[in-house]
Amino acid sequence: MAEVRCNDTEDDGPSERKKIKLAEEKNLKCTKSVHETLENLNDFEIKRILKNNNAKKYVCIEGSFKGRNSPAVVTLEKKEFSADDLETGAFMKSVSLRKLHRNDIYGQYECFPNIEYSGLKATIIHPATPKHIKKFEEHKFYLVDETPEDYYNITLPYFEKQSFSLQWIDNIFEHKAEQNRVLYEDQDEEKGFVMVLDLKSTGQRDSLHVLALSRKKIRSLRDLNESHLPLLRNIRDVCREVISTKYNISKEHLRMYFHYQPSYYHLHVHCSYLMFDAPGIFTERAHMLTTVINNIELMPDYYAKATIPFAIHRDNPLLLKYKEAGVITEGVIDDVD
């Protein structure tokens, strides 16, 4: 089949009506999804790399297919190892090696499996909208060292003006929603809380993610003091017991932590399986529950006095507030719209 070029012009030969018809057919082919005929990526022209994650071994690329005006996003990802093929030895028998170097008992090699084991997962979005492209772009973050003064003068006023609805939390407390996901409930007004499966969690042990929502109206980590120790200890002890009984996860395999900044300003503790790479578990956002308890035991108003760093996305309006206040450095200021 001859290649269709969206910018081609017709010869003077065909009639005007035929020209219009041919142009319409070309336009249809240019906007039609490529998936009906796609067999390889020979005609994919790269515009830019949206994301290259070396840790997770995947890359997202924006580009277009030759002869088509509409953009496309191609994601390539290394495939996971098959436990069955490893256990039976099928994978190892397919591998050839090329030595790179050796030092004493250590050797490093390039590994070349047979084609059936060396494939990549490819996800292709075409035509891709600007929202698709934005979704796959590398998210640029900045680290802000929030002092207590910054919290009261910048962060807190910003969140108070947003007036994010927390009705969904009240619905859980009032038994109006998500009752099939509630794992435990303590109705004590001072140290009570509700344990509920996170909406993204299927409840499977290996990807477990549970939230413990405080009944007492507390905004975040910043507001915690010694009066909240009974609540924090209650969450720690009960969550360990419930999760151990229901999911057979011991306390040594249970990660319990706060987010700062939190995604919503109602105090909650995240509980996840230690082997699960749950969202927001990295040091610039996660604060372990046991560490928080210990800090308050050592200094009752620790979180009112501490400088707490947090990562913030470039598109977050709060970053602009820090820019306007002159808190972030000059190099970053020029990069923030």
Is 268 annotated in some ligand binding site? yes
Asked whether residue 200 is marked as a ligand-binding residue, the answer is: yes
- Residue 270 in marked binding region: yes
198 marked as part of a ligand binding site: yes
Of 235, 248, 212, whose CA–CA distance to 293 is shortest?
A: 235
Give the number of other Cβ atoms within 10 Å of residue 194's Cβ. Answer: 21
Which residue from 97, 101, 100 is spatially nearest to 112, judged by alpha carbons? 97
269 annotated as ligand-binding: yes
In angstroms and rounded to an integer, the radius of gyration of the C-alpha atoms of the chain is 27
CA distances from 230 to 227, 235, 237, 243, 250 (A): 7, 9, 11, 20, 22
Taking each helix axis from N to C end, the angle separating 289-298 and 229-247, rounded to the nearest 10 degrees, works out to 160
Is-catalytic flag, 268?
yes
| CB contact at 8 A, 72 and 132 | no
Tokens representing 48?
């830019």
Provide φ and ψ at 24, rounded to 5°: -65, -40
Residue 38, marked binder: no
The reply, when asked if residue 313 is annotated as ligand binding, is no
267 annotated as ligand-binding: yes
262 among the known binding-site residues?
Answer: yes
Active-site residue identified among 101, 132, 268, 313: 268
Binding residues for substrate: 168, 178, 198, 200, 259-270
**Which residues define the annotated binding site?**
168, 178, 198, 200, 259-270
- Catalytic residue ranges: 268
